[in-house]
Structure 1
Amino acid sequence: MGLPYPKPEYLVQSLLETQRLVDLEDLVDGMNLSEEWGEQHLDLDRTCSVEYAQWKDGQIRATIPQTQFSCLMELNDYPKPLRPIWKEIVQTKERRIGVELPKEDYLTRFFPVGREDPRLRERTNV
C-alpha cells in the first residue's frame, strides 16, 4: 500500500532491548519466528538497555502512586542478556495457545497450521 514497514529484525531487536516482552510475544506468535531466525537476524550478545529502563522507571514512578507493590510495574534496570529472553519467548509459543484453539491446528496463537509466511505475502491496493 506504499507504507514503509520496519524490517522485522529492527523491530524485534528494539522490543528485546526495551523489555517490551508482551509486544515481542505477539510479534513472535504472529510471524511464527524461530530461535534460528533470531540467531541469524538479531544481536543476541547484547543486554537490555539500562538507560531506557531507568528512564521508563522514572516515567512510571511519576505517574502511579508509590506503594509496596508499585515496583512490580517497573522494568529491570540491570543489564540482562538478550539471548535467554529470546529463547524463552520462542520456546514457549505453544504454551501461549489458549484452550479455545485446537493445538493440532495452530503453531502459535496467531498462526494456523498451513498458513504461509506473512513476510512473503504479496500486498495489493484494495
Structure 2
Amino acid sequence: MADTVDFDKLPGLRDYSGEQTSRQGVDEISDVVNQLAAADIPSCVIGVKALRYFGAGRVTDEWDLCIPDHKLEAARHLLLSADDGAKYEVAKPPPPIPSSRRHAFPCFRLKGYNFWFILVPSSDCFVDPSLADHVERSRNGVPYASLVQFARSLLLQQLIADIADLIDGMDLDIDWGVQNIGFETLQEESVKFNELRNQRVAADGDGHGMRSPQVMEQLWSERASKEAKDRRIEPMKQGRYFTRWRRIKSPEDPRTKDRPV
C-alpha cells in the first residue's frame, strides 16, 4: 500500500481554507504598508503583483513587499507582536525555484484569510523603498517599485519572463530602455549585485538562484524589439493586440485604469 502523503508538510503548499479578500488583497496590503510606515519602515510592492500593476496578465495570491535590509527584522517583529494581538502569522514559504530566493525570506499570512505576503530585502531585488525615485503609488495609494527601477531590478535578477511581461504590459521598446535604464551604470552594478547574490545563495545551501554575468543591454534589446514583441502575441490575439497584454482598443497606460492595483 502506498504511503499516505502529508500535504501539510509539502513546501509552499497553500491552505485555502480561509476567507477571500476584497479587491484582490489591495486593502490588506495597504494595511500592512501603513502599519510598517507608522513604524518608520518604508516598503513597496515588487514581483508578480507589480507586473500586474504594469499591465501584465499574471495571477498570484502572494504579495512581495520590498523592505530595506536594516529594517527587515524590525518589520518581522512588528507584524508578529502588535499590541492589540497580531493579525498575521508565519506562513510556509513558497517552493524553491531556480530563478528566485523568495523561499528564503519571511512569509506571512493574514490570519483566517487567503492572503500571503513575503518580505524581500532591498539588496536582493535592487529596489530601495526609502528612495523617492524608486517608488510610485497606484491610484489606490499602494506603493509599487517605480517603472524604471523595476525594469532595472528585473534585468539585474535576470528574470527573463518577467522582463518580457513588463515590456509587453507597458509597451516598452529598445529606445525606452536606452533613454531610461542607464545600461553602462547598470552593467557595473551587476558585478557587485551578482557576487553578493551568489554568496547568499551559497549560504542558503540549496543552489537556487545562482547568477553568471550577462550583458544587460542585450537582455533588454532581445526582448524589447518589435519582432520579439510580435512573436509573443498569441495567434488568437493577432490583429486585436499590439503586445501580448495590450489590446488595440484599450491603448491607455494600465496604471490609469480603474482596477484593483
Common fold: TM-score over 0.5: yes
Residue 62 of structure 1 corresponds to which residue in structure 2? Answer: 205
Secondary structure in 2 aligned to 1:107? Answer: coil
Kindly indicate whether the alpha-carbon contact (under 8 Å) linking 1:35 and 1:90 is maintained by their aligned counterparts in 2: yes
Residue 97 of structure 1 corresponds to which residue in structure 2? Answer: 233
Kindly indicate whether the alpha-carbon contact (under 8 Å) linking 1:31 and 1:117 is maintained by their aligned counterparts in 2: no
1:40 and 1:123, CA in 2 relative to 1: closer, same or farther beyond 3 A? farther
Cα shift readout 1:18-61 (whole Å, capped 9, x = no counterpart): 21121111111111111121122111223272343345445278
Indicate the structure with greater strand content. Answer: 2
CA distance in 2, matches of 1:34, 1:95: 14
CA distance in 2, matches of 1:6, 1:27: 12
The share of aligned pairs that are identical, in percent, is: 24
- The one-letter code matched in structure 1 to 2:220 is W
1:52 to 193, 197, 201: 193
CA distance in 2, matches of 1:53, 1:16: 11
Secondary structure in 2 aligned to 1:93? Answer: helix
CA distance in 2, matches of 1:111, 1:35: 17
Secondary structure in 1 aligned to 2:251? Answer: coil
Of 40-49 and 52-61, more deviation after overlay is shown by 52-61
Length-normalised TM-score, structure 2? 0.38
Asked if 1:3 is matched to 2:142, the reply is yes
- The one-letter code matched in structure 1 to 2:244 is R
Deviation at 1:11, TM superposition (A): 0.4
Cα shift readout 1:74-105 (whole Å, capped 9, x = no counterpart): 432x2x32212111111111111223x33211
1:36 and 1:124, CA in 2 relative to 1: closer, same or farther beyond 3 A? same
Kindly indicate whether the alpha-carbon contact (under 8 Å) linking 1:17 and 1:82 is maintained by their aligned counterparts in 2: yes
Length-normalised TM-score, structure 1? 0.72
Secondary structure in 2 aligned to 1:111? Answer: coil
List alignment gaps of at least 5 residues for structure 1.
65-69
- Aligned residue pairs: how many? 115
2:242 to 107, 112, 115: 107
Computed over aligned residues only, the root mean square deviation of the Cα atoms, in angstroms, reads: 2.8
CA distance in 1, matches of 2:148, 2:245: 19
CA distance in 1, matches of 2:206, 2:255: 42
Task: Decide which structure has the larger Cα Rg and report it.
Answer: 2
Residue 67 of structure 1 corresponds to which residue in structure 2? Answer: none
- Does 1 or 2 have the higher relative contact order (CA < 8 Å, sep 6+)? 1
- The one-letter code matched in structure 2 to 1:50 is V
List alignment gaps of at least 5 residues for structure 2.
1-139
- The one-letter code matched in structure 2 to 1:3 is V
